[in-house]
């Protein structure tokens, strides 16, 4: 099984940003993260990617490989779902789901749902893994002192993945100089990855 975070680091600069957000019901101004009844609010990840480098179809393939699509979700909070932004994505998601069912001979229980709204989750949900490494966090907040800039930074996103031990030493060697770290930060990060 390929974990989505591992793909993120195997394929450099294909996915720029992973944001933790809430998909909310039509009638809510601000999402309540504890309001799971009826699935009106879900904690989800949004991926920003370069479609010239990786296709939506490829991301769907990786998504199907990164979880167990034949299992039902045990609660709405942990719903397995693909959220689509437009008709083209909807058609592709349905086709990839059908192809997977044909290939496996099993029903895919992952839902395919339109994204109606998207609200950024609170700052403490963003780049959670990096926040457990205070020295690296300090380096990134020095470069990106505003919370929104910090969350939107590709370098911070990549560092967060490496802090979670996703990615290889070879990958890190190729891009470590582009992350904006001091020599001490580079040494600390290399110690986490190797």
C-beta separation of 106 from 100 below 8 A: no
Reported as type and span, the H/E element at residue 4 is helix 4-10
Among 16, 57, 58, 36, CA closest to 156: 16
The stretches of 27-111 forming alpha helices (DSSP H) are 56-65, 87-104
Residue 19's pLDDT is 43
Among 80, 76, 78, CA closest to 107: 80
DSSP per residue, 136-150: HHHHHHHH--SHHHH
Q: Dig out the tokens for 183 from the structure.
A: 């020599």
Residue 76's pLDDT is 63
CA distance 194 to 189: 9
CB 182: neighbour CB atoms within 10 A?
11
- For helices 183-193 and 154-163, the axis angle rounded to 10 degrees is 40
Among 155, 159, 177, 178, CA closest to 167: 159
Residue 72's pLDDT is 72
20 phi, psi to nearest 5 deg? -90, 125
pTM of the predicted model as reported, rounded to 2 decimal places: 0.59
CA distance 127 to 14: 18
Per-residue pLDDT of the chain (194 residues; tens, 9 = 90+): 344 444 444 443 334 444 444 444 444 444 443 333 344 455 566 677 778 877 889 888 888 887 788 877 666 656 778 888 889 999 999 999 999 999 999 999 888 888 776 666 666 667 878 889 999 999 999 999 998 888 888 888 888 888 888 778 888 898 899 999 999 999 999 998 87
7 phi, psi to nearest 5 deg? -60, -40
Residue 104's pLDDT is 93
Residue 137's pLDDT is 93
């Amino acid at each position: 099984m390929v974990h989505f975070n591992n793909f993120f680091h195997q394929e450099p600069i294909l996915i720029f940003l992973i944001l933790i957000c809430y998909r909310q019901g039509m009638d809510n101004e601000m999402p309540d993260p504890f309001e799971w009844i009826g699935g009106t609010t879900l904690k989800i990840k949004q991926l920003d990617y370069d479609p010239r480098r990786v296709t939506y179809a490829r991301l769907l393939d990786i998504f199907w490989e990164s979880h167990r699509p034949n299992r039902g979700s045990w609660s709405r909070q942990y719903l397995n779902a693909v959220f689509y932004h437009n008709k083209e994505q909807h058609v592709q998601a349905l086709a990839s789901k059908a192809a997977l069912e044909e290939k496996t001979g099993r029903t895919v229980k992952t839902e395919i749902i339109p994204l109606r709204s998207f609200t950024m989750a609170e700052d403490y949900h963003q780049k959670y893994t990096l926040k457990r490494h205070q020295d690296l966090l300090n380096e990134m907040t020095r470069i990106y002192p505003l919370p929104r800039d910090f969350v939107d930074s590709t370098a911070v996103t990549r560092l967060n993945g490496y802090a979670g031990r996703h990615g290889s030493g070879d990958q890190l060697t190729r891009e470590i100089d582009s992350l904006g770290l001091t020599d001490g930060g580079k040494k600390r990060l290399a110690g986490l990855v190797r």
